[in-house]
Copies of this chain bind each other. A is one copy, B any other.
Amino acid sequence: MSIDATHDPALRSWVASANDAATDFPLQNLPFGRFRRCGTGEPWRIGVAIGDQVLDLRAAREHGAWPPALASALDALAAGDLNTVMAAAPGPRRALRAALSQALTTGSSQQQALERCLVPQSGIELTVPCAIGDYTDFYTGIHHATSVGRLFRPDNPLLPNYQWVPIGYHGRSSSIVASGTPIRRPLGQTKAAEAQRPSFGPCQRLDYEVELGFLIGAPNALGEPIAIDAAEDHLFGVTLFNDWSARDIQSWEYQPLGPFLSKNFASTLSPWVVTMEALAPFRAPLQRPAGSEEPLPYLDSRATREQGALAVRLETWLQTAAMRAAGEPAVRISSGRADEAAFWTPAQLVAHHTSGGCNLQAGDLFGSGTLSGPGADQAGSLLELTRGGKEPIRLPNGETRAFLADGDTLMLRGTCEREGFRRIGFGECAGTIVASPAHS
C-alpha cells in the first residue's frame, strides 16, 4: 500500500459536504457500503460515502463515463455485489479508487452526470457491506488479554502461548448485523460460583468489545498458505466491530473449547468498509511491550514490523434510556488507539490463519479482538472498565453501569489523523439493548 495522488490533502470535491473538516468521508476516504433508500425495500445497492451523500454505483455505472478496464468491476458493483471487487488483486482496486477520486474531484467533467447519482445519507438504510463468509475472532489486544487474564489468574495473566501464537477462534457469521440493529439480551445457562446447579435465564453481565474488523479480499486455495510478505494483498478493508459478549454465559460454557453462545447471539459491524488503499497514510510500526518475544519467521517481515499496524483512534460512547428520555447526549466512556493495543498486525493474522492451509475467501471477516490500550480509561470492554463488574462506572446523570442495561445504546467511532493528511473516519457502529424474550 503506498501513498498516491488520491491522498493529497489539497484535493477538494464538488460534493460540498465532503470538504467539511468534520466529515468522516472526505474525498480521500471513499469507503464502500450496501444501502437502499429507506422504506423502499429495493434490492441492496453498493455505494461510496462522500461527505453526507452516497454515490449510488448502480446509477453511476449508467450515467458516468468510466475507463473500459473497470467495466467488469462496475458491472458487479451495479448488481449489488461487492465481493467480486474485493476478490480482485490490488491493481484493479487501486484503479477503481483512482477513477472514483477523479470523478468526484472539483472540476471533474463527470460532475453533472454524477450529481443525479447522489443519495443523501439521511435517507438511506445500510446493511453489512458484503456477503460475509467465515468469521474469525482474534485476540490481538495484549492489554485486554492481560487484564482479563488477571481476573482469572492474578499471578500469571498471560498464557505462555500468547506472545508466539496469534490466538484466534472461529465465530458465528449468521448473527453479524449492521449498525443500528437492536441487540436482544440473550437467554442462557449460567452458574454462580456458590450454586450447586446451573440455571437458565436472561444474561446478567452483558458487555461489548471494541474491535476492528478486517475484511478479506483476494482468496487463497485450500492447502496453500499466504506468506507474510504477500498478506497485505489479501486484505480489502477495515470496519469497526462490536463483539457483544455475555460474560456470565461465557465463564460457565467456555471450557474446554472456547466461547460459543456467549458470543454468537449478535455482533455489530459498521456499514462502511474503509479500504486498505484509503488507510495507506495511517500505517504505523508494530508496538510491543519491552521484552516481548520476537515472532517466528513465518510471522515476521520488516514491512509488517515497520508499518503493519493501523493508527486508528477508537472511542466508545454510551447513551442510556434515561439519558435519551432527558435529551442528554451520549457520553464517551473510553478511548484509545488500535496501534497501541494490538500485539499482532493484520498481515500477521492472514499469514497465521493460512499457515496450515486454511483457505480464505473474499468477504471473510477477522475481528481484531478487544483493543484496550495500556491505560485504565482505554479499556475496550466493561469487564475491564469495571474490573469484572466490581467497580461500576458512574455516568454524568448519576446512573451507574457494571454491565449493559436494557435500553442502553453503545456506539463505537473510529478516526485516522496524521499531520499533512485529511482526517478520515469509519462512521458509526451502534446497537441498542432490548429485553430478552419471555421464557418459562
Contact = CB atoms under 8 A, between A and B. Distances in A.
Give the dominant DSSP class at A's interface. Answer: loop
Interface in A182-207: 184, 186-189, 191, 197-200, 203
In this complex, which of A186, A264, A293 has the most chain B Cβ atoms within 10 angstroms of its Cβ? A264
Interface stretch (A41-49, A94-102, A304-312, A358-366): A358-366
B357 A184 contact: yes
Interface stretch (A161-169, A276-284, A396-404, A424-432): A161-169
Contacts of A249: 356
A87 interface: no
Interface string A229-254: 00000000000000000100100111
A169 B167 contact: no
A57 B412 CA distance: 50
A198 B260 contact: no
Contacts of A188: 355-356
Interface string A292-333: 010011100000000000000000000000000000000000
Contact of A261 (B199, B260, B353): B353
A42 to B, nearest CB: 22
B170 A359 contact: no
A201 to B, nearest CB: 10
Contacts of A296: 189, 198-200
A159 interface: yes
10 contacts: A139-B257, A167-B260, A170-B170, A174-B359, A174-B361, A187-B225, A187-B356, A200-B355, A254-B258, A261-B356
Ranked nearest first, the 8 interchain pairs of A and B with the lowest CB-CB distance are A258-B258, A186-B356, A170-B170, A169-B257, A184-B223, A257-B258, A265-B356, A261-B356
Interface of A: 133-134, 136-137, 139, 149, 159, 161, 164-165, 167-175, 177, 184, 186-189, 191, 197-200, 203, 222-225, 246, 249, 252-262, 264-266, 293, 296-298, 352-353, 355-361, 364, 437, 439-440
